């Protein structure tokens, strides 16, 4: 079930986290973005599909063209974040969920009643969540904190949706932030009893501030005069509070050399999966690694070693579609494991290779990416 992954430097799934006012790690007990990097990426994919189902019900057809375009691709790359693992564990469920999401997309596109297909998709999505990420992990406060910070700060999340609506004057960017905020509020209600009275009050104050910016699903009649950064401050402050409440480091970019080394390590597992022919499972890891690379490392690396940055970008582009801000030829749409050699032969028609050769070629390219990430760590001082 190969599905093309698509990650853009301007639209990263994890967004561009910036540190809160107190940026130094405080010896938290948990480190979810390091301890369960791929799992948090899988969770985000599941969460984003859930949010799009929420929006589908909030804006039944006919919705505005811009929103309809988003809803007509409910799964897309988000499904690819966990689809390989789901198929390994329950192929029938994976197929049923994909079919259900396709039915929702069809209903949006054709202007049909969305409630029946959305209801079925929700049920299957819950089953998939439990299959990919066990209920015990889902109930862990540090897991919930990591999910919440993604919903607050990620592309398509609360702060970014508000900024996109204000900057681009596109009112249909706004509803995604509203949907993400509803999920944040639900998760906050599940962990707020862990907070001190002061921190519970502080957290609620930030949620109230965001509620004032997202009083309903919208879309607003106009975004004229809006400050694009207005949602950023309460979202960041709430994220800092979440670290204390969940006793977890939720900002993986505090130590860039450590992060680069960690990405090299998890990429090694992806290489083993590619060598074993488990492309969809391997791609989940590459997707998670690129999220952190593009969000936290790329900008700094461009300052210190643009050559290594370009190399890393090209290698990531062998596995996922990378939208390069520089519009150079480093971006590749080889989301299904195609190799650079095949791209070079495009003008004369890429010859088919047998399965073993293809596995070896993809695994070799993956190992080159891993070595490059080791070089990245060295450049950053690791």
Please, what is the Cα angle at 298 between 289 and 150, to 5 degrees?
A: 55
Single pTM value for the model: 0.85
Contact 287, 69 (CB under 8 A): no
Q: What is the residue-averaged pLDDT of the chain? A: 86
Is pLDDT of 325 > 70? no
Residue 192, C-beta contacts closer than 8 angstroms, at least 6 positions apart: 200, 203, 204, 245
State the pLDDT confidence band at 359, using cuts at 50, 70 and 90. low
The residue behind tokens 């488990």 is 278
Give the per-residue pLDDT at 323. Answer: 57
Is pLDDT of 347 > 90? no
Question: Per-residue DSSP letters for 261-311?
Answer: HHHHHHHHHHHHHHHTT-HHHHHHHHHHHHHHIIIIIHHHHHHH-HHHHHH
- Reported as a single tens digit per residue, the pLDDT across 114-161 is 999 999 999 999 999 999 999 999 999 999 999 999 999 988 899 999
CA-atom Rg of the chain in angstroms: 21
Closest CA to 288 of 57, 39, 106: 39
Give the per-residue pLDDT at 358. Answer: 67
Give the per-residue pLDDT at 355. Answer: 61
């Amino acid at each position: 079930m190969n599905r093309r992954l698509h990650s853009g430097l301007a639209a990263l799934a994890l967004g561009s986290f910036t540190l809160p006012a107190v940026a130094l790690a405080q010896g938290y007990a948990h480190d979810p973005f390091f301890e369960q990097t791929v799992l948090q990426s899988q969770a985000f994919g599941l969460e984003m599909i859930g949010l799009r189902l929420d929006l589908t019900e909030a804006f039944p057809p006919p919705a505005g063209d811009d929103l309809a375009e988003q809803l007509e691709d409910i799964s897309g790359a988000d499904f690819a974040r966990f689809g390989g693992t789901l198929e390994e564990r329950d192929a029938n469920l994976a197929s049923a969920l994909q079919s259900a999401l396709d039915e929702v997309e069809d209903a949006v596109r054709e202007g049909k009643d969305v409630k029946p297909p959305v209801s079925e998709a929700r049920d299957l999505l819950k089953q998939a969540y439990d299959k990919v990420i066990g209920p015990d992990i889902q109930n862990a406060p540090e897991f919930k904190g990591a999910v919440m910070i993604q919903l607050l700060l990620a592309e398509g999340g609360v702060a970014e949706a508000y900024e996109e609506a204000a900057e681009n004057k596109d009112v249909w960017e706004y509803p995604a932030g509203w949907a993400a905020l509803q999920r944040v509020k639900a998760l906050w209600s599940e962990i707020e009893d862990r907070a001190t009275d002061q921190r519970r009050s502080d957290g609620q104050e930030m949620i109230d501030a965001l509620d004032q910016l997202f009083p309903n699903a919208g879309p607003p009649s106009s975004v004229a005069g809006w400050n694009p950064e207005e949602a950023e401050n309460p979202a960041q402050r709430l994220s800092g509070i979440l670290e204390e409440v969940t006793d977890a480091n939720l900002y993986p970019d505090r130590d860039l050399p450590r992060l680069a080394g960690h990405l090299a390590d998890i990429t090694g597992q992806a290489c083993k999966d590619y060598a074993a022919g488990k492309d969809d499972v391997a791609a989940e890891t590459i997707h998670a690694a690129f999220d952190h690379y593009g969000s936290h490392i790329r900008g700094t690396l461009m300052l210190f070693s643009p050559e290594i940055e370009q190399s890393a970008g090209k290698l990531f582009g062998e596995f996922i579609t990378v939208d390069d801000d520089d519009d150079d030829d480093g971006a590749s749409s080889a989301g299904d494991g195609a190799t650079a050699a095949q791209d070079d032969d495009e003008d004369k028609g890429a010859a088919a290779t047998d399965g073993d050769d293809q596995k070896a070629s993809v695994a070799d390219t993956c190992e080159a990416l891993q070595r490059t990430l080791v070089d990245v760590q060295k450049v950053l001082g690791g």
